[in-house]
Amino acid sequence: MTDTFPPVVVRNHGEKDMYYAESTHPAIIAKEVFHAAQALLQQRAKREALPRNTSPFDQKIFCGLCGTSFRKKVSHGKLFWTCRKHSRDAQSCPVTQVPDTEIREAFLRFYYKLNHHRDIILTPMLNSLQSILQRRMLWSENIMELNHQISELSSQNQMLATLKEQGLIDPDIFISQSNELTQELRAAKQMLAGYQHPCFGHEAVPLHGEAGAS
């Protein structure tokens, strides 16, 4: 506070003597509690936080009982996967947490079996998907429109040939229009073939690498 009138409160930067008074007010919490809390905060800060979305299983594991997705959980320094519903209320879903090591071992066993039995599993599955896709493609708007366009062009081409046979059209006009219709018809058929080209091959997709045998 300055010596002027009226006095003004300003920060003392050494212009006047400063004093430190201890325990002038009752403590909100005891010193022991404060220091214990600070030590606990420092201990937690030293723990390595688990990075988010770093596991290949994120958003891919679901509870087989309730269908809820699993989430990562660290307990005593080990990584577990737990049902979110069970984590919120153990009574609502009895599925308990699963160690990450068991998840990885189960994945490797599945990969091994899928790789070594791909002719029995993958090939029929891919053929079924291809068949389903082709059936859907037959009724897609693009396919139906192209079929209609091809039908119209074929009819026009047939009518043009009939007019030529009857001598009702000039030969030069016939050749010009016939070539134009032929090009449009070829383009439409090529586009139709492109739509109907299978997206899945008949051969099994090669899976490289080996996993540990079960």
91 and 124, same domain (yes or no):
no
168 and 104, same domain (yes or no):
no
pLDDT in tens, 128-182: 888 777 666 666 677 778 888 888 888 888 888 888 888 888 888 888 888 998 9
Between the ranges 51-65, 70-84, 124-138, where is the mean pLDDT highest? 70-84
What's the domain count of the chain? 2
Q: Alpha-carbon distance 95 to 64, whole Å?
A: 9
Domain residue limits at 126: 118-196
Query: Rg (Cα) of the chain, in Å, rounded?
Result: 39
Q: Alpha-carbon distance 168 to 172, whole Å?
A: 12
83 and 150, same domain (yes or no):
no
Q: What's this model's pTM, rounded to 2 decimal places?
A: 0.38
155 and 91, same domain (yes or no):
no
**Residue the block writes with tokens 């006047």:** 16
Task: Decide which of 115 and 47 is more confident.
Answer: 115
The CA–CA distances, whole Å, from 142 to 40, 188, 191, 193 equal: 66, 11, 10, 12
95 and 159, same domain (yes or no):
no
Is position 107 within any domain?
A: yes
Strand partners, 82: 71
Is position 7 within any domain?
A: no
75 and 125, same domain (yes or no):
no
93 and 124, same domain (yes or no):
no
Query: Is it true that the peptide bond before 56 is cis, omega within 30 degrees of 0?
Result: no
91 and 126, same domain (yes or no):
no
Is position 171 within any domain?
A: yes
Is position 59 within any domain?
A: no
User: Are residues 177 and 160 in contact, defined by beta-carbon separation less than 8 angstroms?
Assistant: yes
Query: Which of 70, 120, 118, 116 lies closest to 97 in space, CA to CA?
Result: 70
105 and 90, same domain (yes or no):
yes
105 and 167, same domain (yes or no):
no
Is position 45 within any domain?
A: no
